[in-house]
Amino acid sequence: MSGSARAKAAREARRTSQFAKFRNTELNLIPLVDTLVSVVFFSLATATVGEMAPVVSGVELPIANIGAPALRQLTIGVARDVSVDGVRVMSSTEAAQAVSNIPQQPLIVPGLLTALKEKADSIRTATGKSQNESVEIPLAVQGTKTMRYDLLSRILHTARWAGFVNVTLQVQRETGADGVTPTPEA
C-alpha cells in the first residue's frame, strides 16, 4: 500500500471513529408527544374552570367592607361573650347551651333572638316596613378563628329567624405584639 493510500485509510478510520457515536442515534417522539398532550390538557382544564362553576340566578355575593363602611351595620360579636352592637347579651357558653323556646326551631338561641328582634323591629319602624318584612341592613358576625361551628350555625339561624337576610362573617385578628387589636376583616 502506498503512503497516500495509508493516509487516506487512516483519515477514514478517524472519521469513522469520530462519527460512530452519531450512527445509532434515534429521536424518540413519544415523551415529546406525551408532554405536549399534558400541556394542552391542563391549559384547557384551567381555562374553563370559571365556566364549569354553576351560577345560581338571584344570588348576590357580599361586598367586603373594611374600615368606616363596615361600621354602618349591626354587629354580633362572639368571643367569651355574645354581644349585639357592643352590648353583652350572654356568654358564649350560655349561647351554646341555650335551649330553644320554639319547638320547631331547635337551633334558636332565645336571648340572642330577643335582642335581634328588638334591633330588627326598630329598623323596620325607622324604615317604614311592616313587622313581617326582612331587614336589609347588613348584620356582621364577628368571631375568632377558634369559634365553634355549632355556635356559629345557631347564631346564623337565630339571625335569619329574627329577619336579617344580609349576613356577613368577619374574623377578628389576633392581638399583635404591640398589644393593639386591628379592626375585623370582612
Bridge-based pairing state of the strands 81-84 and 74-78: antiparallel
DSSP letter string over 4-17? Answer: HHHHHHHHHHHHHH
pLDDT in tens, the chain (186 residues): 677 889 999 999 988 888 777 766 677 888 889 999 999 988 887 765 555 556 667 766 666 655 444 336 788 888 888 888 888 888 888 888 888 888 888 888 888 888 888 888 888 887 788 888 888 888 888 888 778 888 888 889 899 888 888 888 888 766 555 544 555 554
The pLDDT assigned to 70 comes to 39
The pLDDT assigned to 68 comes to 44
> Which class for 135: exposed (0-12), middle (13-18), buried (19 or more C-beta within 10 A)?
buried
The pLDDT assigned to 36 comes to 92
Q: In what order do the strands lie in the sheet with 74-78?
A: 87-91, 81-84, 74-78, 139-143, 167-171
Q: How many domains does the chain have?
A: 2
The pLDDT assigned to 39 comes to 92
Beta bridge partners of 75: 140
The pLDDT assigned to 78 comes to 86
Within a domain: residue 154?
yes
* Residues 156, 91 share a domain: yes
Within a domain: residue 44?
yes
The pLDDT assigned to 18 comes to 80
Q: Which domain holds residue 105?
A: 68-171
Q: Which three cell numbers stand for residue 41?
A: 390538557
* Residues 133, 100 share a domain: yes
The pLDDT assigned to 49 comes to 55
Q: Distance between CA atoms of 164 and 177, rounded to whole angstroms?
A: 37
Q: Identify the H or E element spanning 78.
A: strand 74-78
The pLDDT assigned to 184 comes to 52
* Residues 72, 46 share a domain: no
The pLDDT assigned to 37 comes to 93
Q: Is the whole-model pTM more than 0.85?
A: no
The pLDDT assigned to 28 comes to 82
- The radius of gyration of the chain's CA atoms, rounded to the nearest angstrom, is 35
* Residues 95, 139 share a domain: yes
